[in-house]
Structure 1
Amino acid sequence: MKRILLITALFCISAGLANAQIKIGIKEGLNVASIDYTTPLLDTETSALASFHLGAFFHYSLVEHFGLQAELMYSGQGAKIDFKDYGVLTKNKLNYLSLPLLAKYHASSGFTAEAGFSLDFLLSAKQSYEEIDAISGSGLQLTEQDLKDGLTGVDTKFLFGVGYEMASGLSFNARFAAGLSNISKSVDENDPNYIGEEESFNSVFQLGVGFPLYGN
């Protein structure tokens, strides 16, 4: 009896997979990233930093026009932060392994809409300094330093976007990722370099292109 139930279950699963529309492919594109950085003791201003994303996607659909999409991506993020009190401009480059999971709607016209969440794991974090001369306005590039110890290893984001998919499977996508986690670690108030409790939230606007290697 148990064998019959097991064979029946495997048959149902196999039939479901056979009827499902599965796509596996690659995608890449532009990242325009920023960090919402604040600390109560310093006057700072942030600006965007351009980078890129690259990876693979897996789309699984059992219902017409609707499915789930999981991705495995390298994502370059960060920002430029101007510490006005010191006349120092920093460029913060953060590299993540990003794991988005999205619900995706696909209209018959090719229009797509998506929303979901992402779990991002920090791979590396580098900060370079540029000290601004207040008189001439010119800058002096200083040594790059590692930021990883001052940041949390995991970031979470809410994602939403729109796109268009051609009959060939080639797709174009615009997506915004809003950080939900403070990525700055707490700092000891007795530390001589203490500049107040910091808060840093990533955000990324992405323009991407994707193409399926399996399924359509």
Structure 2
Amino acid sequence: MKQIIVLTFVLFLGIFISKAQATFNPGLRGGLSLSTISETHANYRPDFYIGGFGEINISKRYSLQPEINYIRQGSNNVARNFIDPNTQTERVVYQDLQISYLSIDLINKLKFGQGLEVQFGPALDVLLNDNLAFRKTNNDLSFITGLAYKMPSGLGFEIRFKKGLFDVLDSDYYHNNSNDYYFFGDYNTNVNFQIGVTYCFDVK
């Protein structure tokens, strides 16, 4: 199923480029990933993301940018409440949750002035690995929005917000019913901020 999605994605881009007579510039991106999981009252997890992209320049003001990224997400100090089987007493432990994805993004870029860009688009996140004891789903669908500034040299700076749509945690396992501050909701989604740099190669 994953291979079919990727193949369809590549074929669509090939047809689109040939019809639009667009220019194409490859590039690299990477930086800091700050993530948490919603409705857990946990801490943000600092980590990183890295990837490549192809900027398809449709017009002076609009570009379509497919991306393939490796991104590490998760949440730190997630509370788990349980009954210790040895002592039959209630215990709370705090766990750092880590989830790694291969993210396939399709970013729309609206360009304003000298280098300012508004970015938005969907992402398909394919699970690579994690340390979750129980999860609701392996993969995720996300929506991305952000701002970027690209210099004439090709070097750029970006900040993005990425929100997952799927419930990723089994809240019956990760929960705390003894302290309202650590109360778990039922809909636990990925929340991610990205702050980083890009470089776009000038291909003639």
Q: Same fold judged by TM-score > 0.5?
A: yes
Alignment of 1:119-138 (within 5 A): 119-126=124-131
Kept after mapping to 2: 8 A contact 1:152/1:185: no
* TM-aligned CA deviation for residue 49 of structure 1: 0.3
1:94 and 2:99 correspond = yes
Pick closer, same or farther for the CA change 1:92–1:60 going to 2, 3 Å. same
Please name the residue that 1:73 is paired with: 69
1:83 and 2:79 correspond = yes
Instruction: Name the % identity.
Output: 30
2 CA distance for matches of 1:172 and 1:110? 10
2 CA distance for matches of 1:179 and 1:153? 12
Moved more, 161-170 or 100-109: 100-109
Q: Which runs of 5+ in 1 are unaligned?
A: 1-12, 39-44, 127-146, 188-192
1 CA distance for matches of 2:104 and 2:20? 25
Match of 1:30 among 26, 29, 32: 32
1:167 and 2:152 correspond = yes
Pick closer, same or farther for the CA change 1:115–1:14 going to 2, 3 Å. closer
2 CA distance for matches of 1:120 and 1:148? 19
1 CA distance for matches of 2:35 and 2:153? 30
Superposition RMSD in Å? 2.5
Match of 1:58 among 26, 49, 54: 54
Please name the residue that 1:155 is paired with: 140
Q: Which protein shows a greater Rg? A: 1
Structure 1 counterpart SS, 2:25: strand
2 CA distance for matches of 1:180 and 1:14? 33
1:212 and 2:197 correspond = no
Higher percent of residues as strand: 1
1:26-45 Cα offsets, whole Å, 9 max, x none, are 1111000010145xxxxxx3
Letter of the 1:200 counterpart: N
How many correspondences in the alignment? Answer: 171
Kept after mapping to 1: 8 A contact 2:101/2:126: yes
Query: TM-score, normalised on structure 2?
Result: 0.74
Kept after mapping to 2: 8 A contact 1:124/1:148: no
1:7-47 Cα offsets, whole Å, 9 max, x none, are xxxxxx86853xx2211111111000010145xxxxxx311
* TM-aligned CA deviation for residue 151 of structure 1: 4.0
Kept after mapping to 1: 8 A contact 2:39/2:185: no
Kept after mapping to 2: 8 A contact 1:65/1:108: no
Query: TM-score, normalised on structure 1?
Result: 0.71
Kept after mapping to 2: 8 A contact 1:33/1:79: yes
1:90-125 Cα offsets, whole Å, 9 max, x none, are 100100001111110122311111111111011101
2 CA distance for matches of 1:68 and 1:213? 16
